[in-house]
């Protein structure tokens, strides 16, 4: 399911507004302003990090209310729930989406049940329950939590960050902000982590809308990063949809998705932008985490995986391209990660 909505960009009005993602009001499909559920999120800083002597522009999306970029989608999704009168929701998550939905539901006064796999970070469990949401731990992998939640959808609204298209209407603001911060220009390359693809697809949608509105002159190449231990999309991209996939545990739990529901859309977005996939090993993720920390960035493992991919891209391409990436989640959401390194 997708939303067919024509985005508009009145640039002269946009620049007068508060520096949040809601400055792009005409491009977000919520009818009445009174239904907007917001913590003034968005317009996160775009800073430069040197990678092998190359300046990479990095969006600081770990600085949101709940500590990850998922707040973009949660703000629009919960605003939609308020608009249609929903008072209780259910969601399944590897942690960050559950925390974001729980936070915005708390602000909106919407009751919330979150299904998670039992292995997720204890810090994320504490965060979700702190917002007042009810946690349901499910034995098995991430997909088992997704299956378990289906029994609840007959009685409660399914506020899925994967299925519900309103979530992507929030994550697409990543592209809007990048373009505006670059002087209403598109970068050459965007390097993003991908599991269920909510940021990648949102970014693609956003740049397509900007291109169609003649705000930017091109749609950037999208390079997607997956952990080698769980890389179904990278495998399908290189070997075809029928390729055999052997999944193992990965420290990058946020992208440990064996069967992404929107796999075809993700693959199409990467192909249409002449992009590709990069896979990273567990030791490379750990090394990247240390490397980021020494630059002052405390990133959760999924974000560290992204920068392991950035390092590989820069090392192989030897490029002069303008490259954008992002820190998707804060390291404080995974406080036990240093202790867990010895187990991988």
What is the token pair recorded at 328?
Answer: 């998707």
Phi-psi region of 148 (alpha: psi -120 to 50; beta: other; left: phi over 0): alpha
Which stretches in the chain have pLDDT values below 50?
338-344
What are the angstrom distances between the C-alpha of 36 and each of 28, 31, 33, 323? 10, 9, 5, 32
Laid out side by side, the sheet with 189-193 consists of 46-51, 54-59, 323-326, 189-193, 221-227, 276-280
Beta-bridged to residue 91, according to DSSP, are 114
CA nearest neighbour of 115 among 161, 78, 76: 161
Other Cβ atoms within 10 Å of 250 Cβ, number: 24
Class level of CATH domain 11-68+168-343: alpha beta
User: For domain 70-166, which architecture applies?
Assistant: 3-Layer(aba) Sandwich (3.40)
- For strand 54-59 and strand 46-51, is the pairing parallel, antiparallel, or unpaired? antiparallel
Q: What is the pLDDT of residues 122-165, one digit of tens each?
A: 888 899 999 999 998 887 665 666 666 767 677 789 888 999 99
pLDDT at 342: 39
Contact criterion met (CB below 8 Å) for 170 and 134: no
pLDDT at 333: 80
pLDDT at 139: 72
Could you give the angle at the alpha carbon of 288 between the alpha carbons of 256 and 313, nearest 5°? 85
The reply to whether 70-166 shares the fold of 11-68+168-343 is yes
Contact criterion met (CB below 8 Å) for 264 and 232: no
Say how far apart CA 77 and CA 55 lie, in whole Å: 34
What is the token pair recorded at 312?
Answer: 């590989």
pLDDT at 249: 87
Question: Structural domain boundaries of the chain?
Answer: 11-68+168-343, 70-166
Find the helix packing angle between 96-108 and 70-84, rounded to 10°.
40
Largest distance between two CA atoms of the chain: 54
CA torsion sign, 180 to 186 to 189 to 190? positive
Phi-psi region of 171 (alpha: psi -120 to 50; beta: other; left: phi over 0): alpha
Q: What does residue 222 show for φ and ψ, rounded to 5 degrees?
A: -105, 120
Contact criterion met (CB below 8 Å) for 63 and 89: no
pTM of the model: 0.93
């Amino acid at each position: 399911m997708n939303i067919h909505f024509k985005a508009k960009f009145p640039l002269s009005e946009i620049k007068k507004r508060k520096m949040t993602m809601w400055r792009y009001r005409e491009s977000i499909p919520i009818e009445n302003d009174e239904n907007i559920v917001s913590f003034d999120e968005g317009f996160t800083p775009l800073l430069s990090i040197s990678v092998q002597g190359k300046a990479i522009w990095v969006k600081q999306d770990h600085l949101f209310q709940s500590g990850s970029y998922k707040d973009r989608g949660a703000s629009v999704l919960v605003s939609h729930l308020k608009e249609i009168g929903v008072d209780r929701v259910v969601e399944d998550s590897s942690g960050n989406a559950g925390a974001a939905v729980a936070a915005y539901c708390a602000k909106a006064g919407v009751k919330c049940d979150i299904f998670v796999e039992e292995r997720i970070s204890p810090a994320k469990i504490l965060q979700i329950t702190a917002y007042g949401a009810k946690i349901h731990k499910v034995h098995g992998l991430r997909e088992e939590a997704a299956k378990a939640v289906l029994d609840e959808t007959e009685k409660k609204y399914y506020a899925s960050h994967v299925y519900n298209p309103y979530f992507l209407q929030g994550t697409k603001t990543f592209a809007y902000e990048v373009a505006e911060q670059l002087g209403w220009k598109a970068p050459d390359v965007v390097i993003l982590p991908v599991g269920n693809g909510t940021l990648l697809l949102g970014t693609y949608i956003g740049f397509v809308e900007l291109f169609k509105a003649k705000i930017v002159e091109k749609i950037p190449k999208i390079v997607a990063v997956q952990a080698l231990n769980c890389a179904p999309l990278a495998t399908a991209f290189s070997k075809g949809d029928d390729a055999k996939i052997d999944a193992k545990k990965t420290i990058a739990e946020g992208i440990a998705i064996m069967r992404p529901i929107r796999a075809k859309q993700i693959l199409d977005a990467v192909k249409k932008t002449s992009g590709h996939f990069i896979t990273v090993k567990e030791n490379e993720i750990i090394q990247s985490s240390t490397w980021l920390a020494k630059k002052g960035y405390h990133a959760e493992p999924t974000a560290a995986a992204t920068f392991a991919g950035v390092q590989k891209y820069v090392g192989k391409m030897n490029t002069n391209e303008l490259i954008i990436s992002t820190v998707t989640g804060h390291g404080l959401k995974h406080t036990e990660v240093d202790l867990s390194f010895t187990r991988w």
